[in-house]
């Protein structure tokens, strides 16, 4: 009688029916292994194809072990087997930068996953400033079109609100923050396109309780003079001459003396028709020297921008709301015109923000690459940057490329130096995917290591190199479905089943 070889419940592919010879058992075992390998390969291929179809990031854990089945996929003949190598973390942190990073701790807003350690990545400029990791709370975010910059900014902003922070967007040229503000209980102020809203950029803003009357007068006058100077320079496309500064000063003083609410049309009138000689200039000289400036500023009070900034404000800025944005999407025009609108709008909002008891706030300049090309606006932003620590404000500047900063003015001009100063005043630099030609530039500008620079062209959507003070991380930004739905900016580019979104 043949020996019983059936092993009951433990029977598997390697155990044959009684009576089978060794060769047929071996053949059957080979067959089972082949089928299992084919099944696994098919499942991996299908998952990978589904991922590609959905346009998701390629997840290395879903790749087939020997690589993807397609031409030029660099599939190896057999699996690479290397002997294990051991070294101290001291040596490894040199050989594999980022790998041995300790992280930034758990205090702050969850951003996503640290790609090298696999741990969560948490960021909070105020906490890191307190700890001494950062010397200022300002951040720069640079990345190619559609790589997820605004999505990251919106996540940082909305998640920060849970920590008691407030968020202000002093100019939103695409109007993509409006839905976000509504979702968090904030307010969006729409300008232009038939809206009755009007802002007076010469509003003094809320008064800082610590200042006496004369100190407050000085603050408001300086703010108004800087704004008028920036507007005139943007309108004329050149720096003002000394005599033009004098005419602006005289016009501002005469309007403030005669009117409790100075407005831009009154300033323009006072430039064209000065009533008294002042500052060493006669009425005739003031009229002659103020002509160019008056005509430049006229653009803001007549023509296509009439009704936006030419009277007392009809909307109030409520600093207690969690988010306030200025929706400029209905205002069409050249970059120069947009910059002038942004100058007025941001001056109005910044005046309201300039109180030391406003708590910790994010001020987000989305699409800032348009603005930094205007030297006058750049100067205003630099002023805001310098004030940030005193006011508890973290500015976030969003641009496409670091070379945007080099496109400002000519080499060695004051504007170029200002743009570089803005970069230097951002302790946190987040770089999303950059073209290979840009990576070298970013490497030099940010002082990245060659290994860090080499990552930049390969970053996927939502992945960025975070330079936090002297430390560097590659972070994959993770957003929930609800967040992605709210922040979606590509709905019009993608065919979706069901009704179209508004
Ligand atoms: N981390 C992410 N995970 C998944 N999808 C993302 C992620 N980040 C962004 N997206 C999606 O990518 C699309 C483009 O993102 P976003 O508008 O933020 O890009 P952008 O860099 O601001 O583009 P632009 O330069 O045009 O302003 C959005 O529809 C968004 O939903
Ligand atoms: Mg964007």
- The residue with tokens 């348009």 is 370
Domain total of the chain? 2
Cα dihedral 139, 145, 148, 153 sign: positive
Is residue 345 located within the same domain as residue 474? yes
Mutate to test the pocket of ligand 1, among 59, 112, 466, 489 (most ligand atoms within 8 A of CB): 489
Is residue 119 located within the same domain as residue 61? no
263 inside domain: no
Strand order in the sheet with 361-365: 120-123, 109-114, 471-477, 463-468, 428-431, 139-142, 393-399, 361-365, 166-172, 323-327, 187-190
Supply the pLDDT for residue 501: 38
> Token digits for 99?
């790998």
Mutate to test the pocket of ligand 1, among 55, 141, 146 (most ligand atoms within 8 A of CB): 146
- The residue with tokens 């770089």 is 431
Mean pLDDT, rounded, for 95-123: 81
Is residue 438 located within the same domain as residue 378? yes
Is residue 357 located within the same domain as residue 415? yes
pLDDT in tens, 270-289: 999 988 877 678 888 889 98
Window from 41-55, 142-156, 220-234 with minimum mean pLDDT: 41-55
Q: How confident is the model at residue 4 (pLDDT cuts 50, 70, 90)?
A: very low
Q: Report yes or no: 153 and 141 within 8 Å, Cβ to Cβ.
A: yes
Ligand 1 closest atom vs CA 112: 1
Residue nearest to atom 10 of ligand 1 (CA): 148
Cβ of 149 less than 6 Å from ligand 1: yes
Residue nearest to atom 11 of ligand 1 (CA): 148
C-alpha 259 to ligand 2 mean position (Å): 41
**First-to-final CA distance of the chain:** 80
Select, from the ranges 28-32, 52-56, 98-102, the one with the highest average predicted confidence (pLDDT): 28-32
Supply the pLDDT for residue 2: 41
Is residue 443 located within the same domain as residue 369? yes
pLDDT in tens, 308-342: 888 888 888 888 899 999 888 888 776 667 777 77
b or e along 60-89 (b: 16 or more beta carbons within 10 Å of the residue's beta carbon)? eeebbeeebeeeeeeeeeeeeeeeeeeeee
Is residue 351 located within the same domain as residue 469? yes
The residue among 66, 81, 96 that closes a domain is 81
User: Is the predicted pLDDT of residue 218 greater than 80, yes or no?
Assistant: yes
Coil, strand or helix: which one is 205? Answer: coil
Is residue 64 located within the same domain as residue 128? no
Is residue 65 located within the same domain as residue 172? no
Cα dihedral 55, 370, 382, 390 sign: negative
367 inside domain: yes
298 inside domain: no
Distance CA 105, CA 58 (A): 28
Supply the pLDDT for residue 62: 65
Is residue 46 located within the same domain as residue 178? no
Distance CA 155, CA 153 (A): 5
C-alpha 344 to ligand 2 mean position (Å): 22
User: Is the predicted pLDDT of residue 420 greater than 60, yes or no?
Assistant: yes
Is residue 64 located within the same domain as residue 131? no
10 inside domain: no
Select, from the ranges 60-69, 121-130, 334-343, 396-405, the one with the highest average predicted confidence (pLDDT): 121-130
C-alpha 327 to ligand 2 mean position (Å): 14
Mean pLDDT, rounded, for 254-275: 89
Distance CA 456, CA 450 (A): 10
163 inside domain: yes
Supply the pLDDT for residue 409: 62
Supply the pLDDT for residue 207: 75
Window from 200-204, 239-243, 299-303, 392-396 with minimum mean pLDDT: 299-303
- CATH assignment at residue 119: 3.40.50.300
Mean pLDDT, rounded, for 83-93: 77
Supply the pLDDT for residue 127: 93
User: Is the predicted pLDDT of residue 31 greater than 90, yes or no?
Assistant: no
Mean pLDDT, rounded, for 117-128: 90
Segments forming the whole domain that contains residue 39: 25-81
473 inside domain: yes
Cβ of 484 less than 6 Å from ligand 1: yes
Mutate to test the pocket of ligand 1, among 111, 141, 148 (most ligand atoms within 8 A of CB): 148
pLDDT in tens, 152-194: 999 999 999 999 999 999 888 888 999 999 999 999 998 887 7
Is residue 389 located within the same domain as residue 475? yes
What percent of the chain shows pLDDT beyond 70? Answer: 85
Supply the pLDDT for residue 432: 93
Ligand 1 closest atom vs CA 176: 17
Supply the pLDDT for residue 89: 66
Mean pLDDT, rounded, for 250-271: 89
DSSP conformation class of 94: H
User: Is the predicted pLDDT of residue 3 greater than 70, yes or no?
Assistant: no
Ligand lying closest to the C-alpha of residue 147: 1
Supply the pLDDT for residue 54: 60
Cβ of 150 less than 6 Å from ligand 1: yes
Is residue 356 located within the same domain as residue 411? yes
Supply the pLDDT for residue 431: 92
Distance CA 433, CA 189 (A): 32
User: How many C-beta neighbours within 10 Å does residue 378 have?
Assistant: 25
Mean pLDDT, rounded, for 264-273: 92
pLDDT in tens, 372-416: 777 767 777 887 888 888 888 999 999 888 777 766 666 666 667
Select, from the ranges 145-154, 370-379, 442-451, the one with the highest average predicted confidence (pLDDT): 145-154
Ligand lying closest to the C-alpha of residue 459: 1
Residue nearest to atom 31 of ligand 1 (CA): 488
Q: What is the mean pLDDT of the chain?
A: 80
Phi (first) and psi of residue 149, to 5 degrees: -65, -50
Mean pLDDT, rounded, for 204-229: 83
Q: Report yes or no: 344 and 189 within 8 Å, Cβ to Cβ.
A: no
Cβ of 147 less than 6 Å from ligand 1: yes
pLDDT in tens, 461-483: 999 999 998 888 899 999 999 99
User: Is the predicted pLDDT of residue 196 greater than 50, yes or no?
Assistant: yes
C-alpha 146 to ligand 2 mean position (Å): 7
């Amino acid at each position: 009688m043949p020996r019983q070889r059936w092993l009951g419940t433990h029977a598997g592919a390697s155990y044959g029916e009684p009576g089978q010879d060794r060769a047929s058992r071996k053949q059957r075992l080979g067959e089972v292994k082949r089928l299992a390998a084919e099944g696994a390969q098919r499942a991996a291929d299908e998952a990978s194809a589904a991922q590609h179809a959905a346009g998701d990031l390629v997840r290395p854990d879903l790749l087939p072990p020997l690589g993807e089945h397609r031409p030029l996929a660099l599939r190896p003949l057999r699996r690479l087997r290397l002997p294990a190598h051991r070294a101290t973390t001291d040596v490894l942190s040199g050989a594999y930068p980022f790998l041995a990073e300790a992280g930034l701790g758990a205090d702050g807003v969850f951003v996503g996953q640290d790609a090298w350690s696999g741990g969560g990545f948490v960021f909070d400029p105020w906490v890191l400033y307190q700890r001494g990791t950062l010397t200022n709370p300002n951040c720069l975010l640079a990345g190619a079109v559609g790589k997820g910059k605004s999505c990251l900014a919106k996540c940082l902003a909305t998640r920060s609100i849970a920590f008691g922070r407030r968020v202000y967007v002093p100019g939103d040229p695409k109007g993509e923050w409006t839905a976000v503000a509504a979702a968090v209980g904030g307010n969006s102020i729409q300008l232009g396109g038939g809206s009755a809203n009007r802002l007076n950029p010469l509003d003094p803003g809320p008064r800082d309780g610590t200042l006496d009357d004369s100190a407050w007068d000085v603050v408001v006058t300086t703010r108004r003079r800087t704004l008028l100077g920036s507007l005139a320079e943007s309108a004329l496309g050149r720096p003002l001459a000394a005599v033009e500064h004098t005419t602006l000063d005289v016009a501002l003083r005469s309007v403030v003396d005669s009117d409790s609410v100075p407005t831009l049309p009154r300033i323009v009138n006072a430039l064209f028709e000065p009533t008294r000689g002042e500052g060493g200039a006669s009425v005739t000289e003031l009229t002659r020297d103020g002509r160019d400036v008056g005509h430049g500023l006229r653009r803001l009070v007549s023509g296509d921008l009439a009704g936006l900034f030419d009277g007392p404000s009809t909307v109030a800025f409520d600093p207690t709301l969690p988010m306030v944005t200025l929706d400029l999407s209905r205002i069409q025009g050249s970059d120069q015109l947009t910059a002038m609108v942004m100058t007025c709008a941001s001056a109005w909002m910044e005046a309201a923000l300039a109180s030391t008891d406003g708590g910790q706030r994010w001020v987000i300049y989305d699409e800032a690459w348009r603005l930094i090309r205007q030297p006058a606006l750049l100067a205003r932003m630099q002023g805001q940057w310098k004030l940030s620590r005193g006011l508890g404000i973290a500015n976030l500047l969003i641009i496409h490329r670091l070379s945007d900063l080099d496109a400002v003015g000519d080499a060695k001009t004051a504007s170029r130096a200002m743009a570089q100063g803005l970069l230097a005043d951002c302790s946190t630099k987040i770089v999303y995917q950059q073209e290979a030609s840009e990576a070298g530039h970013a490497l030099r500008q940010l002082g990245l290591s060659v290994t860090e620079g080499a990552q930049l062209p390969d970053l996927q959507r939502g992945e960025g190199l975070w330079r936090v003070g002297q430390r560097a991380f590659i972070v994959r930004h993770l957003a929930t479905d609800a967040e992605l739905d709210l922040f979606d900016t590509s709905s019009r580019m993608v065919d979706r089943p069901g009704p179209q979104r508004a």
